[in-house]
Amino acid sequence: MPDPDLALATKIAFVHQRLLEAYGEPARRHCSDPVGSLIQTILSQNTSDINTARAYASLRAQFPDWRAVMNAPTDAVADAIRMGGLANQKAPRIQGVLRTIHETRGDFDLDWLAEMPVEEARRWLISLPGVGNKTASIVLLFCFNMPAFPVDTHVHRVTRRLGLAPAKATPDQVMRIIETHAPPSWFYPLHLNFIRHGRRICKAHKPRCDQCVLADLCDAFRTSPSPLAESSTLYREP
């Protein structure tokens, strides 16, 4: 059994290895359109993967290209993405992002980001309206294989319960902790396996600690196994 007071980098290595054994090495998804990935991530805010995919497919079907989305009446964009939820907030955000990219670059190509240092590329992306570190990191990691670690709600919850980050750490703080203590080659599998684990086992409301391959590494389970197995009152979703 691992020492409960393992150094952080060693503990992350144990967690990574256990998750690989439980869920395998995630297949790489091909990203041929970084702007599309950016828009898809904006659409995914506060909704399910299924609704995100439907809203994105509807947007692509109703407009021939990104220029048409940018120039369309905002109501028409909102109608196209309605099934994804929060359409009246996401439509102007999407158009604002497209407008800013077009005004600063003259087109809708983001491939040049791959030539930048990761922090510079991240800064440029989060300067876009409504784009935060999670969205920027998804584009950088998934489309350009750059060393950025996205922290979504599952990653945020699981890492804090495990004690890889303080209980009150923000998603941006978790991002920095993992980026500092894990090798970049782990970012892609670790991100996706944390999400799998959060969805299947370390659920927000009733974590299945009795089925968890990480229980002996988990600070929350070690300090309070019974209440955690029954409810999530100790760790509320932000």
- Point out the residues that are catalytic: 134, 152
- 190 contributes a contact to ligand SF4 by CB under 6 A: no
How far is the C-alpha of 170 from the C-alpha of 172, rounded, in Å?
5
> Is residue 70 classed as helix, strand or coil in its secondary structure?
helix
**Calculated CA dihedral for residues 62, 67, 72, 78, nearest 10 degrees:** 60
Site pattern 155..174 for ligand SF4 (x: CB under 6 A): ---x--xx------------
Count of residues touching ligand SF4 (by CB under 6 A): 15
How far is the C-alpha of 44 from the C-alpha of 186, rounded, in Å?
24
The token duo for 204 is 């927000």
Query: Which candidate, 230, 159, 224, places its Cα nearest to that of 197?
Result: 159
How far is the C-alpha of 115 from the C-alpha of 167, rounded, in Å?
36
- 214 contributes a contact to ligand SF4 by CB under 6 A: yes
- 218 contributes a contact to ligand SF4 by CB under 6 A: yes
- 182 contributes a contact to ligand SF4 by CB under 6 A: no
Cβ closest to ligand SF4, residue 186 vs residue 235: 235
Kindly indicate which of the ranges 68-76, 100-108, 166-174, 218-226 contains the residues binding ligand SF4, using the contact rule CB under 6 A: 218-226
How far is the C-alpha of 150 from the C-alpha of 104, rounded, in Å?
25
CB of 172 to ligand SF4, least distance (A): 21
Cβ closest to ligand SF4, residue 36 vs residue 207: 207
Contact footprint for ligand SF4 (CB under 6 A): 158, 161-162, 201-202, 207-209, 212, 214-215, 218, 220-221, 228
